Every structure is written in structure tokens, then in C-alpha cells.
């Protein structure tokens, strides 16, 4: 007990010291809410097509069946022009029901299973020109996990607990059905479909009628239970349950996207606008995690800005604090006037309240313009994280 | 409270004085829990394997088995839910597949299936 108190005080002292160092060297303007770390910005995007067009669409078509997907696409593209402000995202494997994929089977995936179950495609359009020179842009992207690691022990336990709660809810439902006369209905059903000798065995048509009658009465009972205050009260907590499935071990996420411009919205005028490729390997085990990033962007509209960016971040995190070190290198390609440069930053985070973290960063930032030197990173700030997942892993 | 409710009644032919086993498969990478009742009495359910229905030597003919599987949508990539009931030990092994979609993420689907053991 005393030792844990000493450790807690020591953690706080270390954090305050780190903050103190950062505050001494921090420029005044950096006392703002901490910006997302660059490693996060380089990660594989959820929807690559939206990312290459710089979109965060408020309405995204996410069809749940093949026919929904076909209707969404045919409806938008049937006029022969690029549709305006259209955003579409779909995981083809999950468009149809997968009755034999249980969560226990999915806890570990083979290479092929990972590829099939995690591949998603995204499609987006945007108006990127001006009123005088209208340009429609269209982007297409694919994202997949080649290696999926395995479901974390905490998620397995959360799923098993949920199974028990759902089973208990089903048992309550049945007991309330019994109170309302389900067993009487069952006896009527038996007598109707399987009468005791010497009564003759009913025909198939008669048995079908018995079942229809039983189902109609069962439906009335079911509604009365589901609508009862007692059952609603008991079942309400199930609706609020939110489990974010978490996977551990080695994960490798890849994505690519291409964007084209269509001056005046005509198909014939198309020209390449941008292409990008991302790779994000990561490993997580207990409090330790590491993520690597690789991004290549070829932007046809911005002269001499093409570069490969790669790096990584190692994190040790607990419920109360986290320390991490991140490194990102930017390697210009072709005739880019920027020098090869890197960013190396240490980050310490301490939870002050649920969802609120003090963040201190210290290190060296990369060269951002051809005339500038590398800059110092020294920031103190507050970050807000309401998600259950402090660090996002695919 | 349920987003989706599926109710059905099926026949499963059993042998005289022979118990059967039931395996419930919850698909679409969703999570589900099952409650069973045989002739009005609860039957303990095994979520990770076969569940025996009836005691050794028990004659299950003219019995009614209620199977309630409640499924919570935890798969962010799909709102499909599916449940398959696999029976063994009867006249033939049989599987009964059911599926229904919930309207939105995190929804609940309830499968309320009655089996007449004939």
C-alpha cells in the first residue's frame, strides 16, 4: 500500500518535472491545445478516397446489401457525368450475411480471411474548381489489413460477459412469457400438431394451420412482454453497451487511393490529380505498443512537393499515464528543394480526469519549408479523448 | 426494445428414449446469448459447445423446446445478424438457419424459435 503511494507520488513528480522543462523552453504560442502528433496524421486513413480529396463528408452512403450498393452507384453515375459531392464506403465481404463467421472464429484470422474481412472500398467526388472553371474531382481508394493479430483478452472477456447478459435477458423474457401463458399455448400446440392416439395424425395442411394459430398467439404474448415496463427496465442496460473490439499482436494495414480531375464534369477531360499509398504496421501487447507509418503522396497539382514519409511511435500506456517516443523522416523525391529531414519527439501524457489528459511534448521538428531550419518542439497542452480507445490500432 | 424480432416454429424428429444435443451458432461476427426451455423448464445452455437436451433415456417425443437467442450488433462493418441451430441425435442431424438485420449499429435482434420434438 505504502509502496504504491510512493510510486504514485513519484509518477506525478516526474510528470510535473517534465511539464516544467517543457514550459521553460516552450514558445508562448504553443500553449494551446496540442495538435495531433504527426505519426497519427500519417496513418492509413479509414477511407482513403476521402483522404486524397481532403474531405470529411457529413453524409456517407454505406450500403448493407449488394442491391443497396448497386442502386447507390447506378443512381449516381447513370447520367454519364461525375456526380456532385458523393461519398460512398463499403466492405464487400460484409454486404451479405456470414452465418458461419462467429466472433470466436474471427478472434484469429488467416491471411486470406484477414484480406477478405477487412477490405473496404471508398469513392468520393467533390467540386474543386471555381465558378468560372468548374472542376469535378473523383477519388477511389482501397484499404485492407493483411495481418490482423488476434482479439485481445479484454475484448474476449467483454464478449463473454455480454453473452451471459444476453442469455440472462433471454431467460427473463421466457419466464415473463410463461407468466403470461406460454406453457398453455405450448400444450395447445402439442395437442393440435401431435394429438395422442387414438386421435388421427393431422395432415400437413392442418399442422401448418396449428402453427399459424400458435405463432399469432405467441406474437401477442411477445409484444406484451417486450412492451412491459418491467422488461424494458431490465433490458435497457443492454442497449447502452458499447464494446470497441480491440486486436493485439502484429497488424499490417495497407491502403491506396487515386484521384482524377474532370474539368466541366465531363468523363473525356479526365486527368490524374493525386495518388497515395499508405502502410501502417503495428504491434500491441499489454501496455506496450508500437506503430510504424509509411506514406507516399504524388500530387500532380503541387509542384515539387512529392515526398516519402516514414517513421514510427513506441508507446507505453496505462490507464493513468503514457509515455511515447516518435520519429518521422521526410525524404523528398525527384527535384524537391526540401532537404531530407526528420522529427524526433518525446511525449508524456497524464490523465487528470476521465477523457482529459495533460500532454507535454519535447523534441525536434522537421524542416517545413526550403528556407527554414529544423525547429524545436516544446509544447504543453490538454487533450480530450472521449473514445474508449486511447490509441487507435486498426 | 428490440430492433428486430424473428419468431418461428419448426419440427425436429427425435428417436424414442434418446436425448438430443443442440449447438447454437451466432454468425456475422456478432455476439449472442441463448436461453432454453424444455416443456416450461429452463435448460442450462453451453455457449461454446453442444448442449444436451433431455436426460439419458428421456423420451423427448411430444416435447416443446423454446430457444431464445438474443444478438447484439457489435460488428461495425455489418448490421446483419444470423443464428443457426444445429440439432444432433434425432432421426437425422438438422440445421435451422435464421437471419435478420438490425436497423442501426449496436442494435439488438431477438430470435424466438419454438421446436416441436416429434
Q: Which pLDDT band holds residue A21 (cuts at 50, 70, 90)?
A: very low
For residue A265, pLDDT beyond 90: no
For residue A329, give the C-alpha cell.
523522416
For residue A338, pLDDT beyond 80: no
Find chain A residues with C-beta within 8 A of B14's C-beta.
none
Q: How many CA atoms lie within 13 A of A280 on its CB side?
A: 22
What integer best gives the mean pLDDT of chain B? 96
Task: Please compute the mean of the pLDDT values over residues B30-48 and round it to a whole number.
Answer: 97
Q: Which pLDDT band holds residue A34 (cuts at 50, 70, 90)?
A: very low
> Could B33 and A190 be called an inter-chain contact, meaning their C-beta atoms sit closer than 8 Å?
no
For residue A35, pLDDT beyond 80: no
- Measured between CA atoms, the residue of chain A closest to residue B69 is A170
The Cα B56–Cα A155 span in angstroms is 37
Q: What is the pLDDT of residue B1?
A: 57
Q: What is the pLDDT of residue A286?
A: 79
pLDDT tens readout for residues A53-100: 988 888 898 998 999 999 888 888 877 777 888 899 999 999 999 999
Helix (H, G, I), strand (E, B) or coil at B12: strand
For residue A27, pLDDT beyond 50: no
Closest CA to A289 of A250, A237, A235, A253: A250
Q: What is the pLDDT of residue A354?
A: 80
Q: What is the pLDDT of residue A305?
A: 66
Q: Which pLDDT band holds residue A252 (cuts at 50, 70, 90)?
A: very high
The Cα B83–Cα B46 span in angstroms is 15
Q: What is the pLDDT of residue A381?
A: 83
For residue A383, pLDDT beyond 90: no
Please say whether the dihedral angle defined by the alpha carbons of residues A97, A102, A103 and A106, taken in this order, is positive or negative.
negative
Choose from B14, B78, B95 for mutation: most chain A CBs within 10 A: B78
The Cα A260–Cα A286 span in angstroms is 43
Q: What is the pLDDT of residue A343?
A: 84
Q: What is the pLDDT of residue A275?
A: 92
pLDDT tens readout for residues A115-170: 999 999 999 999 888 888 888 899 999 999 999 999 999 999 999 999 999 999 99
Selecting from A98, A101, A159 the residue whose C-beta is nearest the C-beta of B31 gives A159
Q: What is the pLDDT of residue A303?
A: 65
For residue B15, pLDDT beyond 80: yes
| ipTM entry | 0.97
- Minimal CA separation from A380 to chain B, in Å: 35
- Going by their DSSP bridges, the two strands B4-12 and B108-117 should be labelled as parallel
Task: Please compute the mean of the pLDDT values over residues A20-46 and round it to a whole number.
Answer: 54
Task: Please compute the mean of the pLDDT values over residues B60-83 and round it to a whole number.
Answer: 96
The Cα B71–Cα B107 span in angstroms is 8
For residue A377, pLDDT beyond 70: yes
Q: Which pLDDT band holds residue A208 (cuts at 50, 70, 90)?
A: very high
pTM: 0.82
What integer best gives the mean pLDDT of chain A? 84
For residue B54, pLDDT beyond 90: yes
Question: A10: which residues sit within 8 A by CB, 6+ positions away?
Answer: none
> Highest-confidence range of A43-52, A320-329, B88-97, by mean pLDDT?
B88-97
Looking at chain A, the whole-number percentage of residues with pLDDT higher than 90 is: 52
Find chain B residues with C-beta within 8 A of A68's C-beta.
none
> Could A174 and B42 be called an inter-chain contact, meaning their C-beta atoms sit closer than 8 Å?
yes
In chain A, DSSP assigns E strands to 87-90, 120-127, 135-151, 247-263, 271-285, 288-299, 307-317, 321-332, 341-353, 356-364, 376-384
Could you say which residues from 200 to 219 on chain A have a Cβ atom under 8 Å away from some Cβ of chain B? 211, 214-215, 218-219
For residue A378, pLDDT beyond 90: no
For residue B90, give the C-alpha cell.
434425432
Q: How many CA atoms lie within 13 A of A46 on its CB side?
A: 11
**In sequence order, what are the beta bridge partners of A348?**
A323, A360
* Cβ atoms of residues A346 and A325 within 8 Å: yes
- Minimal CA separation from A104 to chain B, in Å: 8
Amino acid at each position: 500500500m505504502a509502496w504504491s503511494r510512493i510510486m504514485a507520488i513519484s509518477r506525478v513528480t516526474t510528470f510535473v518535472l517534465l511539464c516544467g522543462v517543457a514550459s521553460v523552453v516552450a514558445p508562448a504560442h504553443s500553449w494551446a491545445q496540442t495538435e495531433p502528433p504527426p505519426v497519427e496524421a500519417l496513418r492509413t486513413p479509414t477511407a482513403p478516397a476521402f483522404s486524397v480529396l481532403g474531405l470529411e463528408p457529413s453524409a456517407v452512403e454505406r450500403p448493407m446489401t449488394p442491391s443497396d450498393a448497386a442502386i447507390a452507384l447506378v443512381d449516381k453515375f447513370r447520367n454519364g457525368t461525375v456526380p456532385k459531392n458523393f461519398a460512398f464506403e463499403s466492405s464487400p465481404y460484409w454486404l451479405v450475411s456470414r452465418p458461419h463467421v462467429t466472433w470466436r472464429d474471427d478472434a484469429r484470422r488467416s491471411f486470406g480471411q484477414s484480406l477478405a474481412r477487412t477490405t473496404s472500398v471508398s469513392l468520393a467526388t467533390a467540386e474543386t474548381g471555381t465558378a468560372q472553371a468548374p472542376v469535378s474531382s473523383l477519388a477511389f481508394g482501397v484499404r485492407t489489413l493483411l495481418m490482423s493479430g488476434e482479439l485481445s483478452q479484454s475484448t474476449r472477456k467483454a464478449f463473454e460477459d455480454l453473452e451471459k447478459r444476453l442469455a440472462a435477458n433471454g431467460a427473463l423474457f421466457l419466464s415473463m412469457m410463461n407468466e403470461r401463458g406460454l406453457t398453455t399455448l405450448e400444450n395447445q400446440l402439442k395437442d393440435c400438431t401431435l394429438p395422442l392416439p387414438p386421435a388421427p395424425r393431422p395432415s400437413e395442411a392442418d399442422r401448418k394451420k396449428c402453427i399459424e394459430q400458435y405463432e399469432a398467439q405467441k406474437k401477442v404474448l411477445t409484444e406484451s412482454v417486450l412492451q412491459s415496463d418491467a422488461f424494458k427496465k431490465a433490458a435497457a442496460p443492454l442497449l447502452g453497451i458499447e464494446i470497441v473490439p480491440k486486436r493485439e499482436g502484429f497488424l499490417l494495414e495497407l491502403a491506396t487511393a487515386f484521384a482524377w480531375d474532370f474539368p466541366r464534369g465531363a468523363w473525356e477531360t479526365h486527368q490524374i490529380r493525386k495518388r497515395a499509398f499508405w502502410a501502417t504496421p503495428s504491434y500491441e501487447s499489454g501496455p506496450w505498443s508500437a506503430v510504424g507509418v509509411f506514406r507516399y503522396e504524388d500530387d500532380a497539382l503541387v509542384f515539387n512537393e512529392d515526398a516519402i514519409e516514414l517513421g514510427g511511435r513506441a508507446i507505453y500506456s496505462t490507464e493513468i499515464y503514457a509515455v511515447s517516443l516518435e520519429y518521422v523522416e521526410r525524404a523528398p523525391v525527384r527535384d524537391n528543394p526540401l532537404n531530407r529531414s526528420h522529427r524526433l519527439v518525446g511525449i508524456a501524457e497524464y490523465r487528470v480526469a476521465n477523457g482529459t489528459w495533460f500532454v507535454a511534448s519535447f523534441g525536434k521538428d522537421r524542416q517545413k519549408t526550403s528556407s527554414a531550419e529544423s525547429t524545436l518542439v516544446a509544447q504543453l497542452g490538454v487533450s480530450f479523448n472521449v473514445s474508449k480507445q486511447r490509441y487507435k490500432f486498426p | 426494445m428490440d430492433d428486430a424480432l424473428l419468431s418461428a416454429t419448426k419440427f425436429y424428429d427425435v428417436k424414442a428414449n434418446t436425448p438430443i444435443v443442440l449447438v447454437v451458432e451466432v454468425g456475422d461476427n456478432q455476439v449472442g446469448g441463448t436461453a432454453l426451455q424444455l416443456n416450461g423448464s429452463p435448460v442450462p445452455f453451453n455457449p461454446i459447445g453442444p448442449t444436451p437436451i433431455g436426460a439419458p433415456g428421456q423420451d423427448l417425443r411430444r416435447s416443446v423446446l423454446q430457444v431464445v437467442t438474443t444478438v447484439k450488433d457489435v460488428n461495425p462493418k455489418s448490421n446483419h445478424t444470423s443464428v443457426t441451430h444445429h440439432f444432433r441425435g434425432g432421426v437425422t442431424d438438422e440445421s435451422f438457419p435464421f437471419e435478420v438485420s438490425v436497423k442501426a449499429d449496436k442494435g439488438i435482434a431477438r430470435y424466438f424459435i419454438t421446436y416441436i420434438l416429434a
